Structures are given as structure tokens and as C-alpha cells.
A and B are shown apart, each in its own frame.
Chain A
Amino acid sequence: EDQVTQSPEALRLQEGESSSLNCSYTVSGLRGLFWYRQDPGKGPEFLFTLYSAGEEKEKERLKATLTKKESFLHITAPKPEDSATYLCAVQAVSGGGADGLTFGKGTHLIIQP
């Protein structure tokens, strides 16, 4: 059974204080690992897809990295508008690509001015 564990559950940072969110996963074969951002009362918004260990992707203050067992979402010099819940999800090879994603519970990030 595919599993995704995110840590910490919640994180409070001061504006400009860099940190990392962790996503550990167990999957029979990884087709892709996904990061989403979710604001209160809204649907998840796509951030990144990572496909193989060693891959990195960046977008503004966010950088996602992938190893064979986990992924990190690094947040550099965050701003209050980066406050959100960050979701990690995996897609297994066994599903043939058609089935859905297995999500973690998310990390609730608060950036204080």
C-alpha cells in the first residue's frame, strides 16, 4: 500500500526565516511525486512534479528536491503570502498512470510578518 507522511504537521516561521518541509513516501514504484499548495476554502493548486531521485525544481521562493525515500520543499526567505497548507502526493507505476494520487495529510505553514 502506498503511503505518504508529511512533517511537521504545522510550522510557524517569521518572515524571512527559511525552512524545509518533509515528505516521506513508500510506493511500489514511483511514477511521480507532486507538491500542491492549498489555501483555506480552496482546491489544491499545483506546484511541482518530480520524477526521479536527484531531480530539483524551483519556483520563486520554493524549491523541491527528491530522493529515493523522501522529498523536501525548501522555502527561502518566506513572505506572509506563502502561508498555506502544502500537500505532497505520489503516483505509483502500478496504476498505469490512470489512477489517482495518494496524498499526505499536509503541512500547515504560517509566516508571521
Chain B
Amino acid sequence: NAGVTQTPKFRVLKTGQSMTLLCAQDMNHEYMYWYRQDPGMGLRLIHYSVGEGTTAKGEVPDGYNVSRLKKQNFLLGLESAAPSQTSVYFCASRWTGNNEQFFGPGTRLTVL
């Protein structure tokens, strides 16, 4: 049981490049979340999903898109990366009847 996994662990992009971050969970959780964590700030919610085929905006959605084509996967896309998107990205998931969110190990993204 791997829990929540994230791919890749590290990535460096140039301004304007695109990429996709993958989150996978093997716990059959309905809800999945993407957060970003920046120095001196708390974790902030980017987008979330309440089930396969559904997504919704969080606190800081601009510049990101997401997709949940399969229940176990939640993808975060950056179409045109900007230096302001340099951050550590965390994925989380949880069951419908339990508020505890399980977090992945994070992806450290640097945009030059």
C-alpha cells in the first residue's frame, strides 16, 4: 500500500514551458487535492476533486489546470510556467466520510 505518490519529485522549468504533475493514490479515496507551499506561507489550496470526472477551484487556481479522468489519479498542469509558480506542490486525498487528508511527499518545482 503506497498511499499517495507524486511524480516527479523535482523539476526545473524555463518560463513559458509546460508540464504535468501526477498524483496517484491506492486507497480508493473519493476526494483529492492539490496544494502549494511557499516559504513564510501556509499551504494553499489550488484545485480539488470530489470524484472521478469532477474538479473545482480552490484559493489560488490561476495558471493551473487539473483533470481527474481516473479515480486514483489527479493531474495538475501548468500550461505556461511563470517564476511565481516556483513552489513545493503537495497532493492529498481522503475518504468521503473522514476529514483526515493524507499527503504525498511533494514535488519541488523551480521556474527560471
**Residues of A at under 8 Å CB distance from B?**
4, 31-32, 34, 36, 41-46, 49, 87, 89, 91, 97-106
Q: A4-B42, A46-B101 are in contact. Are A100 and B90 (CB under 8 A)?
A: no
Q: How far is the CA of A81 from the CA of B41 in the complex (A)?
A: 24
Is B42 touching A98 in the complex (CB atoms < 8 A)? no
Please list 19 pairs of residues, one from A and one from B, whose beta carbons are closer than 8 Å in the complex, sorted by A's number: A31-B99, A34-B99, A36-B103, A41-B106, A43-B90, A44-B90, A45-B103, A46-B101, A89-B42, A91-B99, A99-B45, A100-B35, A100-B45, A100-B59, A100-B92, A101-B43, A103-B35, A104-B42, A105-B42
Q: How far is the CA of A41 from the CA of B105 in the complex (A)?
A: 8
B48 contacts partner chain A, Cβ-Cβ < 8 Å: yes
B77 contacts partner chain A, Cβ-Cβ < 8 Å: no
Size of interface on B: residues with Cβ below 8 Å to A? 25
Q: How far is the CA of A101 from the CA of B94 in the complex (A)?
A: 12
Query: Chain B's nearest CB lies how many Å from the CB of A97?
Result: 7
0/1 string, B24-60, CB within 8 A of A gives 1: 0000000101010000111111001010000010110
Give the contacting residue for B102; candidates A32, A46, A105; CB below 8 A. Answer: A46
Query: Chain A's nearest CB lies how many Å from the CB of B52?
Result: 14
B62 contacts partner chain A, Cβ-Cβ < 8 Å: no
B residues in contact with A41, CB < 8 Å: 106
Q: A100-B45, A100-B58, A101-B45 are in contact. Are A42 and B105 (CB under 8 A)?
A: yes
For A103, give the chain B residue with the smallest CB separation. Answer: B42
Query: Chain A's nearest CB lies how many Å from the CB of B17?
Result: 24
For B54, give the chain A residue with the smallest CB separation. Answer: A98
B residues in contact with A87, CB < 8 Å: 42-43
Query: Chain B's nearest CB lies how many Å from the CB of A38?
Result: 9
B residues in contact with A91, CB < 8 Å: 99
For A98, give the chain B residue with the smallest CB separation. Answer: B50
Is B90 touching A49 in the complex (CB atoms < 8 A)? no
